[in-house]
Structure 1
C-alpha cells in the first residue's frame, strides 16, 4: 500500500459519497428536497416529502455508495483500520456534495453500507437493532435514522467486547467516532436552521402539538365604526 493508494481510495470514496441520490430522485418527482421538510438530502426526508418507493431507492443506493467505497479501497490494497479513511471520505462527500453546492444529508445509511462492506457477519446484528430503533422512533422524531444508527454502533461496541466481529479494536473505535460525528453533524445542522428547534421536538412543531409551535394569527378586516 502506497500514498497513491490512499489518495486514490479517499478520492473515489468522496466522489461516490457525493453522488446526491436523494436530490436526484426527489427532483425526478418534481420535489426540491432542500426546500422541504428537514431540508436535507436523505432517505428520511425523501420518505416524508416524496414517498416510500422513492425513499427505498435512495436508501439502497446510499448504502451501495458506502459499500462500494470500501470495496474500491480494498482493491487498492487498504485493509484493517486503514479502511476508516475511505469511510470518512464517503461520509464527508455525502455531507458536502459539490454537485449540490456542498449540501447533503446525515450519512447514516452510507455508514451502514461501509459497515457491511468492512465486516458483513460482524455488523448484521447492530444493523438490525438500529433499524428496529429507527422504525420505532419514526412517528415522532425528525431524524429516526440518526438515532437508529447511533444505537447500532453502540450495539457493535458491545458485541466487539464479547465476541469476534471481524474488526480490530481500532476499527470499531473509529467507526464509533464516525457515528458520533454523524449525530453531532445532525444536531449542528438543525441548530443552524432558521427557526430550528431541538431535534427531538421537530415533528411536534411541524404537527402543531408542541407548545413552541405557535401559528401566527392574521387579523381579519375591521368592522366600520
Structure 2
C-alpha cells in the first residue's frame, strides 16, 4: 500500500503539472509567461487570449484536481490519501517542471480537489467566489474569499478533522500565492477584470 500511495502521489503531481494555459497560449503563438501577470492560469489567459481559451483552461485545471482525487480512490486509497493526491496535483500545477518549476496559483485545481472531496464545500466556494468576482471584478479577492469560505464551511458542517486540515492547507497555499495581489488590493492598485492595463 505504501508503494501504491507513492505511485498515486507521483502520478497526481504529474497530472497537476500539465500546463494547459501555457500550451493553449503557445498554440496561438503566445508565451503566457511573458504577457500580463506572467501567471500560467485561466485569468491571465482570459486577459491575453479571451473567454474561450480561458474557459477551456479553467475546466482543464479543475478537472486535474478532481481526477487526482479520483485516481487515488481508484487505486484503493482511503479518502485521506486520495485527497492528498489532489494536494499533489495542486503542487504540480503551482510548481510545474514543464515551466521551470513555475505555474499558476492553484485556484481552479484546488477547487477541483475540494469539490471532489466534499461537494458541499465546492458549492460554497463557487457561490461566494463567483459572487465576489461579479460584484468587485477582483478575481484575486474572489479566489481568496472562496477558499476561506471552504475552511469555514468545513468547520460549520462538521467535516472530518483531516479534511478540514487539508482544506486549510490548500487555502494557506492559495493565500500565499496571492500575496502580491493582496498587497495591491490593500494599496488600491489591483487590476479589475476587464480593466485596461
Same fold (TM over 0.5): yes
SS at match of 1:73: helix
1:174 matches 2:166: yes
- Whole-angstrom distance in 2 between the partners of 1:158 and 1:100: 33
Structure number with the higher helix fraction is 2
Aligned ranges for residues 65-214 of structure 1 at < 5 Å?
A: 65-138=64-137, 141=138, 144=139, 146-163=140-157, 167-187=159-179, 190=180, 198-200=183-185, 201-203=189-191
Number of residues of Structure 1 aligned to a counterpart in Structure 2: 192
- Whole-angstrom distance in 2 between the partners of 1:137 and 1:45: 18
Which residue of structure 2 lines up, in the alignment, with residue 47 of structure 1? Answer: 46
- Whole-angstrom distance in 2 between the partners of 1:105 and 1:159: 25
User: 43-52 or 115-124, which moves further after superposition?
Assistant: 115-124
Q: Do the aligned partners of residues 106 and 122 (structure 1) sit closer, same or farther apart at CA in structure 2, a change above 3 Å counting?
A: closer
Contact preservation (8 Å) 2:151, 2:171: no
Q: Do the aligned partners of residues 93 and 162 (structure 1) sit closer, same or farther apart at CA in structure 2, a change above 3 Å counting?
A: closer
CA RMSD, Structure 1 to Structure 2 (Å): 2.3
Q: What stretches of structure 1 move > 4 A for 4+ residues in a row? A: none
* Shift, 1:81, TM fit: 2.7
Q: Do the aligned partners of residues 79 and 152 (structure 1) sit closer, same or farther apart at CA in structure 2, a change above 3 Å counting?
A: farther
- Whole-angstrom distance in 2 between the partners of 1:36 and 1:203: 15
Contact preservation (8 Å) 2:73, 2:79: no
* Shift, 1:23, TM fit: 0.5
Q: Do the aligned partners of residues 97 and 53 (structure 1) sit closer, same or farther apart at CA in structure 2, a change above 3 Å counting?
A: same
- Whole-angstrom distance in 2 between the partners of 1:99 and 1:162: 39
SS at match of 1:24: helix
* Shift, 1:41, TM fit: 0.5
- The one-character-per-residue Cα deviations of 1:57-102 (angstroms, maximum 9, x if unpaired) are 0000000011001100111222233234212211111112111222
Q: Which runs of 5+ in 1 are unaligned?
A: 192-196, 209-225
* Shift, 1:53, TM fit: 0.6
Q: Which runs of 5+ in 2 are unaligned?
A: none
- Whole-angstrom distance in 1 between the partners of 2:96 and 2:48: 21
> Given the two structures, how large is their TM-score scaled by the length of structure 2?
0.87
* Shift, 1:207, TM fit: 5.2
